[in-house]
Structure 1
């Protein structure tokens, strides 16, 4: 019999991870591609990205798309625009050549990976931010409305707050702290007002969403160096993420003395204490029974796990 595989695709605003596993869940091949945020790269760009990534992981094991038993594509912004839904749902078919797949928001990958598919909540703070949880077959999400007016606590949000602080330090509304010099040096600015050229673009277009989000690392560095305003940004980020989590808890019906398994994923959490410390503090004030656990596996492996779960569910339905 020909080998069969599960494919997990964890999309994001900065990178997209592809994972191919066997039926036992053993990782056989991985591949990393660029951002799969269709609002940024377009539908054609997404098609090309997915085709390239799927081809890359299959090539490593000498397989074809026909060998994929089931796949799950976790895509950023999926489910947030009805007019785009039809296009997003059929792009994987063009890549795989069959219907053995499902699409969903990339928040599902984070949840499935961090909690191993168990009931509970996962909070994502990467380029954007979003929370997702499941309990007794009920699902709920919170946040994730996009960087223009939401995505609180995300890398993009932290970067924007940092740029705001930089501007205030530049014109004297705030005293200059470490953040000011870090931005001046790392962005190679001759004058602080040159940051406008960096953000708004010298040729009619500025940096992409993920490039702006990358500036959150400068805010984190300033925080480590004792910048008071940078610390306030991370404190507020923890507060905003806590609000998202607690709204999901209420939607899922966790009440009273019931423990709520909670995990996390996304690049902002690489700062560990910078974000986890305020997050824990605000969570304990909202609900004392959160149980914060280290992620069990990566979101990309979580996507493959979810694909296997969906395959099993569909098999039972067809019997």
Structure 2
């Protein structure tokens, strides 16, 4: 039995699998982003989520062979490292687990723990890659000065575009009306109160405004579409930096996959991302965009098995993929 936990900035997913590729239980809970919810809530969410997941499978923590806890912002604050590393042991009652950044869940799921680079563009953004036993991370510095190409970054760019449309610095497009209706604005400047004085200071809530930017782009807003084109270029730069850190040689072909809500916009971001990757390194490695094989939470579970030397067969991975396709709760992205 292998337990995977994929803790994101907006929600947390739990999945329990066995080595035959059978999905034994899943559960969904709130965010584990401790900067926003606090460590006490992280502990409570993990405790309740573990209890619910194991109860669905009718097993005890002692029956878990190994677990992987993918935690947002893990490794970014050494003062809290020991606390985060020790927390699962208190909840499980044993030490058969490992903690890591949730970017590893994305890589492990989208590429089934094979060599390649996985880009996360959800509330935040970052990438993780693996090549011939080495791993590398790029991005994920936070929304104030990084997270390029993320939902938060897109939402912020959309708000900037709205202000420029309102002031007359650029032509009004569909985004202007969409944001006015969303916030029920009597006057455009009322947006300031809605953003600064309301609950939009919550990172994940503001990030959800990226959906309006996508809606505007689909409605023909050229400037909103340009935001997604720019996001794709930023994500490509992240991929290139991971490849450079990994020392991938010129001419090597490396798969690139993805996860996170930004990719739910489909070809709006995938088309420019695919095109940018094709032109990324004329004298370096070649990158090919690959549809994710499994959700990040399933990736966390198969990575848990990998950490103790258990490799899933092609048949077991295919069985997991089939169950994911039939599950109403598991999202590939």
Identify whether the pair has TM-score above 0.5, normalized to the shorter chain. yes
Q: Partner of 1:141: helix, strand, or coil?
A: strand
Report what 2:224 is aligned to.
230
**How many residues are treated as equivalent by the alignment?**
307
| CA apart distance, 1:254 | 1.4
Aligned partners of 1:162 and 1:219 also within 8 Å: yes
**Is the deviation greater in 276-285 or in 152-161?**
276-285
Map of 1:44-193 to 2, 5 A cutoff? Answer: 44-193=40-189
Structure 2 residue aligned with 1:293: 290
The residue number in structure 2 matching 1:317 is none
Cα deviations by residue, 1:255-304 (Å, 9 ceiling, x for unpaired): 22110111111111111111111112222221252121111100000000
CA distance in 2, matches of 1:197, 1:51: 37
After TM superposition, give the deviation of residue 207 of structure 1 in Å: 3.7
Check conservation: 2:117, 2:127, Cα contact below 8 A. yes
SS of the residue corresponding to residue 20 of structure 1 reads strand
Q: Which position in structure 2 is the counterpart of 1:282? A: 276
For 1:51-74, what per-residue CA distance to the aligned partner results, in whole angstroms no more than 9, with x for missing partners? 111111111111121111111000
1:265 to 259, 265, 269: 259
Partner of 1:316: none
Q: Is 2:246 the partner of 1:246?
A: no
Structure-2 change in CA distance of 1:272 and 1:206 (3 Å): closer
| SS of match in other structure, 1:297 | coil
Contact 1:25 1:305 (C-alpha < 8 Å) held by counterparts: no
Q: C-alpha separation between the residues in 2 aligned to 1:241 and 1:153?
A: 6
**In structure 1, distance between residues paired with 2:182 and 2:260:** 23
SS at match of 1:311: coil
| TM-score of the superposed pair, with normalisation by structure 1 | 0.94
Asked if 2 retains the 8 angstrom alpha-carbon contact of 1:114 and 1:297, the reply is yes
Among 27, 31, 42, the alignment partner of 1:31 is 27
**Mind listing any 5+ residue stretches in structure 1 that lack a counterpart?**
314-319
Match of 1:18, SS state, is strand
- The alpha-carbon deviation at position 252 of structure 1 amounts to 1.0
- Contact 2:277–2:288 (CA under 8 A) maintained in structure 1: no
How far off is 1:206 after superposition? 4.0
What displacement does 1:19 show? 0.2
> Are the aligned partners of 2:9 and 2:204 in contact in 1 as well (CA < 8 Å)?
yes
SS state at 1:312 partner? coil
1:286 counterpart SS class = coil
Deviating beyond 4 angstroms after TM superposition, the runs of 4 or more aligned structure 1 residues are: none
In 2: Cα distance, 1:137 partner to 1:256 partner? 18
